[in-house]
Amino acid sequence: MVDSIGFLEFSSIAKGIEAADAVLKTAKVDLIFSYPTCPGKYSVMFSGDIAAVTSSLDEGLRIGDTFVIDSVVIPRINPQVINAIGPSDVPSDVNAIGVMEFFSITAAIYAADAAVKGADVDLIEVRLGTGIGGKSFVVLTGDVAAVTESVRCGVNAEGGNGLLVSSVVIPHPIPELFEALL
């Protein structure tokens, strides 16, 4: 089970790879992913106990130096956030969907965690910057009131740093829409 996550976003692929190696060597953390994103950035996410994640993140910041775009440690992250990074299934009973779009990968991770902690919703996807010009977005579902509250919590999450592009809540979406989303 994932306790806490650390995330680093770099403007250099080479420095990102070097920092990922240092992150994994610094403390007992597990790599969730380490890969290039658009446009020529590099992202690393790892998990472990809070002390290990913090220590590893600090080393990644030191190695990345001026190439660090953003970073975060989120203690007690909701497991839905990790599960939604990648393909997922659409729940069968969908009353509404919410979408939050950001200029930053880190802002999307903050928002996804705040959203699922703010209301009873299911994360469908957290898309992190690949193939969409470096932007990121979060898609979630639930009843209309929960999705509305969840999106409100997500877009107002600490750490968003004004990087929200747009957000919407769509009540009673057409089922075919999900085929396009996933």
Tens digits of residue pLDDT in 40-54:
889 999 999 999 999
The whole domain housing 149 covers 80-181
Phi and psi for 164 in degrees, rounded to 5? -70, 130
Q: Where are the alpha helices (DSSP H) in 30-182?
A: 50-64, 79-83, 105-118, 144-155, 176-181
Residues 70 and 102 in one domain: no
Residue 130 is part of a domain; what is its CATH number?
3.30.70.1710
Q: How many CB atoms lie within 10 A of CB 42?
A: 24
Q: Where are the alpha helices (DSSP H) in 6-143?
A: 13-26, 50-64, 79-83, 105-118
Residues 69 and 155 in one domain: no
The number of angstroms, rounded, from the C-alpha of 24 to the middle of its chain's C-alpha atoms is 20
- Binned at pLDDT 50, 70 and 90, residue 85 comes out as confident
User: Which of residues 74, 99, 131 is at a domain's end?
Assistant: 74
Burial class (CB in 10 A: 0-12, 13-18, 19+), 36: middle
Residues 65 and 86 in one domain: no
Residues 27 and 110 in one domain: no
Residues 69 and 100 in one domain: no
Total count of domains within the chain = 2
Residues 95 and 58 in one domain: no
Residues 171 and 106 in one domain: yes
The pTM (predicted TM-score) of the whole model is 0.77
